Structure 1
Amino acid sequence: MSGTPPLGVPERQQQLDRLDDAIIALLQERRLAAGQLRALRSARSLPASELVGENRLLARYREALGSPGTGIALELLALARTGAAATPEPLPHPVPVPVERTPS
């Protein structure tokens, strides 16, 4: 065990805030890249999306994260469809994230 004291509640919250900032930045970058890919596919008269690739994404997230991973992958696909080829505006911090819960 190291000599570093364990993190307290405020430090853990700050850690989560930093992770959320990084995740948001990556999601914005992914949305931008997806929009650019859609534009390239369109310029070549290809379908905007590739079903095999989308299914691969769903399986990848499900394998890595279990059942919730499928939902995350679906949201990534939805976010990609709303992406523009322009650089997205930075989101304010903290970002409120609505959580929809479905009964089990």
Structure 2
Amino acid sequence: MTATTADKTGARTTEAAEVISGARERIDALDDRIIGLIQERMAVSAVIQEARIGSGGRRVNLSREMEVLSHYSEALGKPGTSLAMTLLELCRGRI
């Protein structure tokens, strides 16, 4: 195993470095999918906001946001709440 492989993976064996490298490739692919889904969510949220504002409503529906926060919190615990807050911020657009 080369020093570069050990530096990149933190592994102490070639086998472990291969496992880590393969798993990281999978994580990178998952991250790409997650980013795509977030972008799709942002687009759908923009449609909702346009419809709500067009009908005379407010841009943000706080009761709906609380539902989203609760959903993420129940599924992922406290870090889920932080993740949901970030998603909501991304999807609100500029207020």
User: What does 1:49-88 align with in structure 2 at a 5 Å threshold?
Assistant: 49-82=60-93
- Paired AA for residue 43 in structure 2: L
Bigger helix share: 2
Name the structure 1 match of 2:19. 8
Structure with bigger gyration radius: 2
Sequence identity percentage:
35
The ranges of structure 1 where at least 4 consecutive aligned residues each deviate by more than 2 angstroms after the TM superposition are none
Q: Figure out how many residues of one structure are paired with residues of the other and give that number.
A: 77
Aligned CA RMSD, in angstroms, stands at: 1.3
Ranked by relative contact order (alpha carbons within 8 Å, sequence separation 6 or more), the top structure is 1
Uncovered stretches (5+) of structure 2, i.e. residues with no partner: 1-17
TM-score by length of 1: 0.70
Give the distance between the partners of 2:59 and 2:93, measured in 1 at CA: 12
- TM normalised by structure 2 equals 0.77
